[in-house]
Structure 1
Amino acid sequence: MSVTLETSEQQNTRPAAPQAETSVGERLQSETTAVRLKIHWPSARKTLNTDQKRQAAVTFDADTKSVSASKKLIDTSHPAYRALTSVKTQATEYWKSNTLPYTEPGMRLIRRSDVPTFDVHMTSVRAEMAEAVQQLEQHYDELISQARERLGDLFDPSDYDSNLSDQFGIEWDYPSCNPPEYLLRVSPQLYYSECARVQQRFDEAARIAEQAFAEELEQLVRHLSERLCGEEDGSPKVFRDTAVTNLLEFFDRFQRLNIHSDEQLDRLVADARQIVSSVRPQQLREKTDVRQRVASELTRVEASLDGWMTDRPRRSILRRAR
């Protein structure tokens, strides 16, 4: 019997055993966590009660069961209310622009490295909302008085809560997407079955993210291309700077959130970015040759995007079969 001994150097240079390739969904699961945003916001309208709907139906000689009516409780165009709405919009847009879609309603995926920054920003937004609520409270009696005049007999003091701070608010949390650990002790088979189900959700989330990015890029590219190619009264269409800046913002967001799940989509985004980043809005207005060149190149990108999305269902099937 012969025994062959390997030196440590030979052992280190020996090829490692091949490892299973990590799927996009698995990578997405390892790099992100779920974040849920909850905004408490009272309705500015209230459905009329049965007697009020009956009166409304009589006015139009209609069947009560066929009438649906509501009353507007507060003037939402008041500057104080609009300021509060602006904070709400800011919170929602920040949540969406810094996360990826997920399959569960009300939940999105955020990179784990971005959680501290997200938490700090949302804490600041929550403080802004609390301040905006205080400003609204200063005008609340005035708004109620206006509602009494507008609503007439439909006015009901009980529709108005005296404590606005309990009506408006922002909350967020980071719910786990994984099955609970105790399930492994109770039923390993069920636990691993749940793990597989969660993995399918992340695979689907990756597909949804791809689709969302592609659709947004196509919409932005088409809008700018139409502005550059089209004419109104024989003159080039006028376009706002946002037709360009919105694309630039998309490129930055794509770079931050890209999960690199599709090389062709990455190339299409890179092509569009190179085209748009090389020009300024004023150049597109003043220089016909630049305008025509950019329009032609964007049309090419748009056509490639259309082809990518048309072919996508087949590529998705092939990817899952691997």
Structure 2
Amino acid sequence: MSVLSEKAMLSHVRVSAWTARRIDRKVTDEVNESHGAANDAGRYNKLLVNKEALAPIQSAISAARTFHYSRTLPWQDDGARLLPAAAYLDYTARLRGIRADFDNAVDEFIKGYSKHVEDAKKRLGDLFKPEDYPGEAEIRARFDFKTIINPVPAAEDFRVAVGDAQAEIIRAEIEERAKEQLQEAVRDVYRRVSEVCERMVEKLRNYIPGNDNVKAQGIFRDSLVENVRDLALVLPALNITSDPRLSEIAERMRRELVRHDADTLRENEDLRESVADAAAAILADVSDFLA
């Protein structure tokens, strides 16, 4: 496990945002009472600004989380994930770009904040309450985007002053837990391969081309191939244990599954069958590992 601390680190992406929602307890009580319901039967949750106003911010948050999970492996329950050193430069560069999008979106929202409040007066009618809207400075403070990088702790780093025998027991427990976490991280990579291959097999085999009179059935999007290509490209970095099986699978995915784009696969039945068969073969190999 000490070697792992040289090959990876822990990354935690923390993003916070103003939800622009507020429970209206007066309306909630009125609705529950008018229907003869208990006080906790339901609640009325107001959307304080038009949802489109926050859409660019939410889009950046979603992009950050999706990318973070795609380039890291599960590790701790507190949200920290294992980031391979081989993925660090691309990971941090991409997250800086996403954070810039987030910051720009927040700035635009703050610039239009007073107008959003004015619009809310019309949209909410009698439900509008000025006290629901903090000042611009407070609202700006509700938005934050942080990437926290820490080293992977090793059992030998345990330095608490306890008896030698007890310290050895604790170090052994730390080491065992780390091994279990690493095994789960490796399984996560295999699961990702399994998921994209299973989906590729299903979509390619269920696709029926259309013609002038009949629409195509079982259509699939361009992302079917793009998702496989993206995973194949990042697999070498995610292969934290240098597993030769994963290296081979990544090469097979690049060589057999993504040589042709989605349009070509839609047009060529023989290619669809060939790629589906290749994906099924990889799926079978991965399933043996996950069994």
With normalisation by structure 1, the TM-score equals 0.75
Give the distance between the partners of 2:21 and 2:45, measured in 1 at CA.
6
Which of the residues 118, 135, 141 maps onto 2:114? Answer: 141
| Partner residue, 2:28 | 53
Alignment of 1:1-322 (within 5 A): 25-49=1-25, 51-78=26-53, 81-112=54-85, 114-115=87-88, 118-119=91-92, 121-162=94-135, 163=137, 164-178=139-153, 183-185=159-161, 187-232=163-208, 237-260=218-241, 262-310=243-291
Deviation, 1:76, is 1.8
Alpha-carbon RMSD? 2.9
Tell me which amino acid in the other structure corresponds to 1:218.
Answer: S
Give the distance between the partners of 1:207 and 1:253, measured in 2 at CA.
19
Identical-pair percentage: 20
The secondary structure found in structure 1 opposite 2:50 is: coil
Q: Cα 1:174–1:280, aligned 2, differ >3 Å: closer, same or farther?
A: closer
Gaps of 5+ in 2: 209-213
Q: Cα 1:180–1:152, aligned 2, differ >3 Å: closer, same or farther?
A: farther
Deviation, 1:125, is 3.9
Give the distance between the partners of 2:205 and 2:222, measured in 1 at CA.
16
Tell me which amino acid in the other structure corresponds to 1:215.
Answer: R
Moved more, 65-74 or 264-273: 264-273
Deviation, 1:40, is 1.9
Give the distance between the partners of 1:117 and 1:86, measured in 2 at CA.
20
Q: Cα 1:123–1:270, aligned 2, differ >3 Å: closer, same or farther?
A: closer
The secondary structure found in structure 2 opposite 1:77 is: helix
Tell me which amino acid in the other structure corresponds to 1:144.
Answer: V
Tell me which amino acid in the other structure corresponds to 1:39.
Answer: V
Moved more, 62-71 or 163-172: 62-71
The secondary structure found in structure 2 opposite 1:64 is: coil
The secondary structure found in structure 1 opposite 2:22 is: strand
Structure 1 contact 32–110 (Cα < 8 Å) conserved: yes
Give the distance between the partners of 1:295 and 1:112, measured in 2 at CA.
33
Tell me which amino acid in the other structure corresponds to 1:35.
Answer: S
Q: Cα 1:187–1:121, aligned 2, differ >3 Å: closer, same or farther?
A: farther
Which of these two proteins has the greater Rg computed from alpha carbons? 1
Gaps of 5+ in 1: 1-24, 311-322
Deviation, 1:251, is 0.6
Give the distance between the partners of 2:165 and 2:24, measured in 1 at CA.
53
Tell me which amino acid in the other structure corresponds to 1:209.
Answer: A
Moved more, 140-149 or 180-189: 180-189
Give the distance between the partners of 1:224 and 1:119, measured in 2 at CA.
30
Deviation, 1:249, is 0.3
Moved more, 290-299 or 272-281: 272-281
The secondary structure found in structure 2 opposite 1:210 is: helix
Give the distance between the partners of 2:118 and 2:71, measured in 1 at CA.
41
| Partner residue, 2:211 | none
Q: Deviations over 1:148-200 (max 9, x none)?
A: 23333332222222123211111222345537968345554454444333323
Give the distance between the partners of 2:90 and 2:247, measured in 1 at CA.
26
Q: Cα 1:66–1:168, aligned 2, differ >3 Å: closer, same or farther?
A: same
Q: Cα 1:35–1:296, aligned 2, differ >3 Å: closer, same or farther?
A: closer
Q: Cα 1:296–1:70, aligned 2, differ >3 Å: closer, same or farther?
A: same
Q: Cα 1:222–1:171, aligned 2, differ >3 Å: closer, same or farther?
A: same
Structure 2 contact 203–220 (Cα < 8 Å) conserved: yes
The secondary structure found in structure 1 opposite 2:240 is: coil
The secondary structure found in structure 2 opposite 1:33 is: strand
Q: Cα 1:149–1:60, aligned 2, differ >3 Å: closer, same or farther?
A: farther
**What is the number of equivalent residue pairs in this alignment?**
283
Give the distance between the partners of 1:65 and 1:282, measured in 2 at CA.
53
